[in-house]
């Protein structure tokens, strides 16, 4: 008994692996031999992972077995759209359980070297993402999900590769022009107005209710008006982004400027520091976590705003334009390609801001 250390993922993989034997062959084009190979890999890996091996050895066995099995399973779908039986899905579930076990083993590993820690911190979400794609691919193609409902990631990927020109043009139009310009103007002006409203209280009293109202306006109301005011091109989309990003920045900056402690303010007072000195040396640094919060919220809002604003009139380029027209043409792979682009851009934007936040507010208790 001492040589074995059972865990529920491996046990479940064992059970589902055995169940898959009742559904051979897995697909119309996958022979019984290939199907049995997958099951064998899964069963052997499940058993090995319950032995008392070093965590590194376990991780390697699980990584190789689960991904090799998945690769075989997806390969078995060639020319077999919608023909996967229950044996196929049982084997898929078994290899997914092994991947789950892999992530568990990885997260329980104790490392001292910071490089190793950081690598694990990257590998775990990567495995997570890969398995979303694997399951998505295998389920859509294996079960024959209609293309318009949800295209498999492989067709989306193929579409991305063949449409790089279109995607690049859409990216420049929507992200580089509308999002970036609107984001910079909106957040900067929100920040400046907050600083002024903090200096002259009557401004805050007058502005906050108006700002509240503007923030509550629905985008479907604003976007057409901006098109009338600023034309069909990216300027009207940038204007929508300005309207959407201004207020979160204003409110957060005001909250941040109010977050300074009494003692620190009194300290500055004993030095006879003036308003702007107190602002620069005390209140803005204290407000930084709040300001970064707004910057991060706004990065998401800006992207959504620019894309959706293009639904209301645009030249024949742009991510929002592409999504709305390709949906009409049932070219769902193109729609998903744009969604993937938006997801990557949004994550990068957010990630860069989070990185900048770590550098600027290194002193904050949540980072140090």
In angstroms, what is the minimal distance from the CB of 259 to other proteins?
13
In angstroms, what is the minimal distance from the CB of 202 to other proteins?
24
The smaller minimum CB distance to other proteins, of residues 66 and 361, is found at 361
The smaller minimum CB distance to other proteins, of residues 55 and 261, is found at 261
Contacts of 75 (CB under 8 A, 6+ apart): none
CA angle 217, 218, 224 (to 5 degrees): 105
The smaller minimum CB distance to other proteins, of residues 48 and 360, is found at 360
Q: Whole-angstrom Cα distance, residue 315 to residue 253? A: 36
For the chain, the first-to-last Cα distance in angstroms comes to 45
The tokens describing 272, both together, are 């006879």
The smaller minimum CB distance to other proteins, of residues 118 and 281, is found at 281
The smaller minimum CB distance to other proteins, of residues 272 and 328, is found at 272
Beta bridge partners of 4: 51
Longest dimension (CA), the chain: 85
Q: Whole-angstrom Cα distance, residue 347 to residue 182? A: 18
Whether 106 contacts 59, CB under 8 Å: yes
The smaller minimum CB distance to other proteins, of residues 221 and 365, is found at 365
14-50 as b/e: b if 16+ CB within 10 A: bebbebbeebbbbbeebeeebbeebbebbbebbeebb
In angstroms, what is the minimal distance from the CB of 118 to other proteins?
23
The smaller minimum CB distance to other proteins, of residues 86 and 276, is found at 276
In angstroms, what is the minimal distance from the CB of 154 to other proteins?
49
Count CB-CB contacts under 10 A for residue 293. 18
In angstroms, what is the minimal distance from the CB of 267 to other proteins?
5
Whether 335 contacts 161, CB under 8 Å: no
The smaller minimum CB distance to other proteins, of residues 123 and 364, is found at 364
In angstroms, what is the minimal distance from the CB of 269 to other proteins?
6
In angstroms, what is the minimal distance from the CB of 363 to other proteins?
4
Interface positions with other proteins (CB under 8 A)? 261, 263-264, 266-273, 277, 281-282, 285, 361-365, 368
The smaller minimum CB distance to other proteins, of residues 202 and 362, is found at 362
CA angle 204, 208, 211 (to 5 degrees): 135
DSSP secondary structure, 145-173, as one string: --TTT---HHHHHHHHHHTHHHHHHHHII
In angstroms, what is the minimal distance from the CB of 253 to other proteins?
17
Burial class of residue 355 in the structure, from the number of CB atoms within 10 Å of its CB (0-12 exposed, 13-18 middle, 19+ buried): exposed
Closest by CA position to 71, among listed 38, 104, 33, 22: 38
In angstroms, what is the minimal distance from the CB of 191 to other proteins?
19
């Amino acid at each position: 008994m001492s040589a074995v250390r059972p865990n529920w993922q491996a046990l479940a993989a064992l059970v589902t692996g055995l169940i898959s034997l009742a559904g051979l062959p897995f697909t119309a084009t996958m022979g019984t031999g290939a199907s049995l190979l997958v099951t064998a890999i899964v069963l052997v890996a499940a058993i090995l992972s319950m032995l008392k091996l070093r965590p590194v050895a376990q991780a390697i066995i699980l990584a190789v077995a689960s991904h090799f099995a998945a690769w075989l399973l997806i390969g078995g779908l060639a020319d077999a759209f919608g023909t996967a039986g229950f044996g196929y899905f049982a084997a898929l579930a078994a290899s997914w359980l092994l991947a789950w076990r892999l992530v568990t083993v990885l997260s329980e590993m104790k490392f001292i070297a910071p490089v190793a820690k950081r690598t694990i911190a990257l590998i775990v979400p990567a495995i997570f993402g890969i398995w979303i794609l694997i399951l998505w691919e295998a389920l859509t193609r294996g079960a024959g999900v209609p293309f318009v409902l949800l295209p498999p990631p492989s067709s989306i990927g193929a579409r991305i590769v063949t449409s790089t020109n279109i995607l690049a043009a859409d990216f420049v139009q929507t992200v580089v022009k509308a999002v970036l310009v609107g984001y910079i103007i909106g957040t900067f002006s929100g920040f400046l107005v907050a600083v002024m409203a903090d200096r002259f209280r009557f401004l805050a009293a007058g502005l906050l209710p108006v700002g509240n109202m503007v923030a509550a306006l629905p985008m479907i109301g604003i976007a057409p008006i901006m098109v009338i005011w600023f034309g069909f091109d990216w300027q009207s989309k940038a204007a929508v982004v300005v309207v959407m990003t201004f207020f979160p920045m204003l409110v957060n900056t005001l909250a941040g400027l109010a977050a300074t402690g009494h003692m620190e303010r009194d300290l500055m007072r004993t030095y006879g520091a003036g308003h702007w000195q107190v602002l620069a040396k005390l209140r803005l640094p204290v407000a930084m976590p709040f300001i970064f919060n707004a910057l991060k919220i706004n990065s998401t809002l800006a992207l959504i705003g620019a894309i959706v604003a293009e639904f209301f009139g645009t030249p024949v380029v742009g991510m929002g334009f592409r999504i709305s027209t390709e949906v009409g043409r049932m070219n769902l792979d193109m729609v998903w390609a744009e969604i993937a682009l938006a997801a990557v851009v949004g994550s990068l934007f957010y990630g860069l801001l989070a990185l900048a936040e770590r550098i600027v507010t290194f002193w904050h208790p949540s980072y140090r």
